[in-house]
Structure 1
């Protein structure tokens, strides 16, 4: 009997793997890429870390290879560890096509096993756990990466893992400070917005526990302090990086979406609740049952329903997003797209519906019907997106602020299949100025400023990376003023023709591009961003602690082989 149960679990795990293969088949068969709004931004991020790995020249803070070799800071503030993991995948991939297929497959596997582990931890039968794990793969929370390269999907992939301690806490009333601290730290290392979701869900749990006990539990407070300490140790590289960079710089934050009221599940983004179409039935069922039968729900189900309802509410136009952003509410400006709140709602809904399914559905053909509907719709959607590569006159859905350096679309498409990964990034460039320094306030569009100062003039200069320095060379005329396509931060060390430039002698544009007086003939500027003292030691400690975490909890967090049958 034990062997049979173990074989069943292995079968379900293999089924998830097979589902991941099926979902990437349209792209493999068509040999296409999906180049959408965020593709070039992330390709540049990962190309930069890939070249660091390939050349053994680690530059944790600045980009010497990606982003026009401008020396700007991106990865240090945007999931640095996972950026290096993707960079490793880029190194192993012969071209961008192979990378995208591999990344999509790995995302499906990670999301599927993550959800399967969460459902098993909630005492859901293996068959039902597998079913809802497959459905999770077909939701837009995961498809967001496939369709638009929205990095929120990588947060959605690890979100179920982060909620395992939460569900154990709600079911047993036992708070494990180490697992909770690890879970929130994992979210921070992958995606900060996902970390906010995780923190809010745990806050709901804490309020629910205290409400039920009707008193302050000081032992719980002490455990929460312990979890915060664990969290801080495992994310020390993130907070130290922010402290070091923001200490001397005013950075441009990601753009403020003035039309964010359109990016809700009740306006232009209804596809979030219609992918797959059966999802909308689950939304209405969970809301209806939660409202009508709230008092009869068990405590753990209430603590699924309440945060679910909260996130669904935030993803709609019931919240006056237009009013908030027009009146410069900071949190509203930070959010950009309210539909992101539907990601944690989707994750919580999978757990709630899986519990109800296990209780009410006995015939296995319903499992098959749901899988066929969800996977079938997902395959059609993926096929349509990949056909655009071959059939559309505009196969690159990169939207505004994109510069094409070749009018031959076929040449650009071939570059994404080339072994020279930089070729595609040179032919198709997008001016995304996130995290550039702002030295003066003006009304200029920073996307256009970045395009004009970094992208358009970049081909006129020769850039070479030597050790910890980026060297820029160009032919100049005596006494002429020249603006250079580099980004200078507070800690950036600058030399022009061998002489240091600093203080008042260093003239910069609004976004940090240096303006110099050139000499006749060959000119050279070198920039370097030395790693702050003590930072590498902190980073090594953080990496070592994560290795310990993986060694101790990895097997149980990634996949629970022992799923519970309903008694």
Structure 2
């Protein structure tokens, strides 16, 4: 029994250290008890508050936002990774405040990212100590800290990227069974349920691994069959996402996300900063030295040469070295889909750091214990850790300091309403009633708004239209969430006439006004209905009626998800006791 306990402690030791590093990174928040309100915080807080309330009152509305986004009925979660939204809703219910929610999810994402990077390095036969230091470095660089700093969803892509690369490494290392169908299907399903754009990056990143795997495979036909199984399985397990996107886009003109300047958001050198848009000169030099090291003698380790070269190419693509101004002219859709070329670093960084871990392991294993090259290589890794940890910790400390200043927010550009009572905002982030914050701070966002055909061509002004038509008007109505996912508005009119309601209606929306269903009505530039009101008390009820085929698809998805969980749990248990 004692030997078993010692063995478990030894096995868990690396993960205890990753937890400690996670706590060190978020220590400014833990010590100050401050909440970081970043660029995407309010948007995602609305999403997660919506699901938390639905779970709390057991009153579900898969499409319609009834508790959040000004109770406008707009669609967000159904087309923006709903399972992840419900997962965060559960965490929020458990945490009860935004402060505790941030601490829990920050620890979670750092642990997942650090563990993935550690496992990737071990998969590549790196020494445990080198794998751990590399994992610590990865936890402090690029997009991964952006969840704590701004609730950027790309951070989850960064956290899961090492697991995707592990699937790719298997394609090359395992010539008998290059693809573990359950493993690949799980990774791709999870990332699609969290962040669709990151899943596109994952697919593209795996293509070279698959090609290399086909070359090394003893049975290429089996590899194609297993790939097809994984693809079909992933499609089935993500039917709730692509099905909702398909249904909404079939009958509605949906607003694109905001446009961004690609060149301005590409990766560029900096002195010390290593956040989403900057990479310090030292690490640029380190990556370049690693690339030169492997291409000088590519046969020393063909796998190291492969992952380093692929990672370095993606690094160049993510940076200002690539002519992103030209690409934006040639492919304008990239401005609202890719938005930030620096997002590609979620693939480049784990590949390059994994290659560096392999190189340093090779040097350590092939040189005497106290040799200069051995000590220098380990010293470089430790220096790199300090050069990413210190700036990240300083940045987090500054963001937390904003919480206790008049600034409070990292970015005010998309906020439509911010209460002048900063003390009330700070109190609402600690309160066990998280909805208070969302009434004090409101953000305009055009994502997934339905654009009537006569307005579909002018998409640049819809976030401001949402501000004027919904945010500034919602408080003039009384909102009530009814059973069955319905939303009721009541208001009093001094005389009869036409009224624009602070609701967002889609082709599938069912609107009832004063007891009568309204089928033909004029809609504003963002889909708000104009209805007839009579003098006195008026009521309007809104519900979303999805297409019947989507309901069948959802049932199939739920059954498939249940089968997956049962089979996956059985396989995991079988593997553990084997």
Q: TM-score, normalised by structure 2?
A: 0.89
Q: Relative to 1, partners in 2 of residues 1:77 and 1:556: Cα closer, same or farther, differing over 3 Å?
A: farther
Q: Counterparts of 1:426-445 in structure 2 under 5 Å?
A: 426-439=439-452, 440=454, 441-443=456-458, 445=461
Structure 1 unaligned blocks of 5 or more? 563-567
Asked whether 1:205 is paired with 2:209, we answer yes
Aligned mate of 1:417, from 408, 412, 430: 430
CA distance in 1, matches of 2:187, 2:118: 16
The aligned residue for residue 524 of structure 1 is 539
The two structures, once aligned, show a CA RMSD in angstroms of 2.8
Asked whether 1:459 is paired with 2:459, we answer no
The aligned residue for residue 493 of structure 1 is 510
- C-alpha distance after superposition, 1:122-180 (max 9, x if no partner): 22232222221111111122111122221111121122122222111122233225122
Aligned mate of 2:562, from 525, 537, 544: 544
Cα offset, 1:524, TM superposition? 0.7
Query: 1:488·1:513 contact (CA, 8 Å) conserved in 2?
Result: yes
Q: Relative to 1, partners in 2 of residues 1:457 and 1:267: Cα closer, same or farther, differing over 3 Å?
A: farther
CA distance in 1, matches of 2:382, 2:323: 41
Q: Relative to 1, partners in 2 of residues 1:474 and 1:536: Cα closer, same or farther, differing over 3 Å?
A: same
- C-alpha distance after superposition, 1:408-442 (max 9, x if no partner): 22222222222221111011101011001111335
Asked whether 1:475 is paired with 2:492, we answer yes
CA distance in 1, matches of 2:179, 2:212: 16
Equivalent residue of 2:411, what SS?
A: coil
Cα offset, 1:447, TM superposition? 1.1
CA distance in 1, matches of 2:87, 2:19: 21
Cα offset, 1:209, TM superposition? 3.8
Asked whether 1:118 is paired with 2:100, we answer no
CA distance in 2, matches of 1:277, 1:147: 23
Asked whether 1:237 is paired with 2:252, we answer no
Aligned mate of 1:280, from 279, 284, 295: 284
Query: 1:431·1:447 contact (CA, 8 Å) conserved in 2?
Result: yes
Cα offset, 1:406, TM superposition? 2.3
The aligned residue for residue 389 of structure 2 is 375
7-16 or 369-378: bigger deviation: 369-378
Query: 2:497·2:534 contact (CA, 8 Å) conserved in 1?
Result: yes
400-409 or 444-453: bigger deviation: 400-409
Aligned mate of 2:296, from 292, 296, 314: 292
Higher RCO (CA < 8 A, seq sep 6+)? 1
Asked whether 1:397 is paired with 2:410, we answer yes
Query: 1:62·1:529 contact (CA, 8 Å) conserved in 2?
Result: yes
Structure 2 unaligned blocks of 5 or more? 365-373
Q: Relative to 1, partners in 2 of residues 1:125 and 1:561: Cα closer, same or farther, differing over 3 Å?
A: farther
CA distance in 1, matches of 2:136, 2:564: 29
Cα offset, 1:236, TM superposition? 1.9
Q: Counterparts of 1:22-421 in structure 2 under 5 Å?
A: 22-173=24-175, 174-178=177-181, 179-210=183-214, 217-257=220-260, 259-266=261-268, 271-272=275-276, 279-293=283-297, 295-331=298-334, 333-361=336-364, 362=374, 371-391=385-405, 393-421=406-434
CA distance in 2, matches of 1:3, 1:476: 72
Equivalent residue of 2:404, what SS?
A: helix
Cα offset, 1:552, TM superposition? 4.6
Query: 2:274·2:280 contact (CA, 8 Å) conserved in 1?
Result: no
Q: TM-score, normalised by structure 1?
A: 0.90
Cα offset, 1:272, TM superposition? 4.0
Query: 1:77·1:242 contact (CA, 8 Å) conserved in 2?
Result: yes
CA distance in 1, matches of 2:277, 2:71: 40
CA distance in 1, matches of 2:214, 2:385: 39
The aligned residue for residue 565 of structure 1 is none
CA distance in 1, matches of 2:514, 2:333: 44
Query: 2:266·2:277 contact (CA, 8 Å) conserved in 1?
Result: no
Query: 1:160·1:347 contact (CA, 8 Å) conserved in 2?
Result: yes
Task: Say how many residue pairs are matched.
Answer: 554
CA distance in 2, matches of 1:132, 1:125: 11
- C-alpha distance after superposition, 1:158-213 (max 9, x if no partner): 22122222111122233225122332222212211211121112111123345668
- C-alpha distance after superposition, 1:515-542 (max 9, x if no partner): 1121111111101113543244134224
Q: Relative to 1, partners in 2 of residues 1:26 and 1:82: Cα closer, same or farther, differing over 3 Å?
A: same
